[in-house]
Amino acid sequence: MNRQSGRRVAVTGYGALCSLGNSVDEIWDSIGQYKVGYRRVEHPEAPIVARFFGVMDNKPPRKQFSKAILKFLPEFAKLGMSAAAEAIHSAFGDTDLDQLCDPFERGVIFGTGWGAQDESTINNNAFRDGGTASPFSNLLVMPSVATAAISMQWNLRGYQNTPVAACATGSIAVGDAYEVIRSGRAKVMLAGGGESIREGFGVWSIDALRALSKEQEVLERACCPFSLDRSGFVLSEGAAVLCLEDYEFAKARGARILAEIVGYGNYSDARDITSPAEDLLARTMTIRTACAQAGMPADAIDYVNAHGTSTPLNDLNETQALKLALGNAAKYVPISSTKSYTGHLIAATGAIESIFCIKTLQTGLMPATIHLARPDPECDLDYIPNEHRHKQGLRHVLNLNYGFGGSNSALIFAAADA
């Protein structure tokens, strides 16, 4: 493979939790069994039209984390801590990180779309009604609070950042961490995102944009990417984190290499705050740049994990962009949307779908796009309808994520021995 200059980057660990499970294995097993992580939830606030949400009822215990850190964390950050803990254990087991590399050689990029909107609303209401609120209110609503907490918990004193790019946040975090390691600025990076929006105002503020699913009764129509029945996305909570390492460093320490990141693209629509650009140029450039960085033609992609939000605009625009970016290869590559299982985790979605890409490389399972009973004839690519597909020897998979504000990202993962 003729990759551009720069250090190679391995993925050596991952962690995730959402309404499908509290670990990567639980979530992947749920997808394998066609389980759905969202259900009908009644919000008492009358103006909210949406009825289906991916809420987490059984969150993991947090006793392993410092109480001094937990006390100023909003829910999205607590979820991020759990995902980071799994990723670190996945990569390093019980080995002390200080035995492996200097704290200044390891860092974290953890993003969020709407951060602590729930906690902001709760504390604002408390202050308005009673003249007081949490003394940690300022810290609770700091977008970088999760990044700070993760760095403090595991003494990550290297590069840190907090991307806020709506629904592309998680994959941009992974892509930017990839670039940090490629440039030689770090040996180890944690990267991902988290989201938890459950309070009435936060949910209403998205619902008011008519972005959430309008389906009131039938689960199969609540989230049905690329279907004629699609009407909006299902809001879900969760977090996901990947552990990235300098490939040679990981190899030298005898790490289990799960996959390699070989390409990353990131371009902006610069057109509309919520709708994708009709000219398709940024999405096309994002995919083509990732392929170019990986040194591979479009027809070398074995599977695409699409953004596939189940919104009328995105799914059609994404189909058109894939055709433009991949050319004739778009007709043949298997593509699916795993949001049909998880719902939309906003900032966590790009990171958790990156993990799904790696699991696809490892297992040969390409998840079906479920609920695709009535395909939109304009979304006419191979979206793996309703039944999983299996193929061994997959080499390269593409993860696509897009977000409000015109953010677009693409990541290419290669099998560990590719």
- Residues catalogued as catalytic: 167, 307, 344
**What is the secondary structure of 152-200 as a DSSP string?**
HHTT--S-EE----GGGHHHHHHHHHHHHHHTTS-SEEEEEEEE---SH
Q: Are 295 and 288 a contacting pair, CB within 8 Å? A: no
With beta carbons less than 8 A apart as the criterion, state whether 190 and 150 touch: yes
Q: Tell the residue number behind the tokens 């999983």, with chain if given.
A: 388
Residue at 301: amino acid letter: I
* Nearest-10 crossing angle of helices 75-92, 145-153: 40
Strands (DSSP E) contained in 269-395 are 303-305, 335-336, 365-366, 389-390
The conformational region for residue 115 under phi > 0 = left, psi -120 to 50 = alpha, else beta, is left
Helix (H, G, I), strand (E, B) or coil at 203: helix
Instruction: Please name the residue that has the structure tokens 């009973």.
Output: 373
Q: Give the single-character DSSP code of 385.
A: B
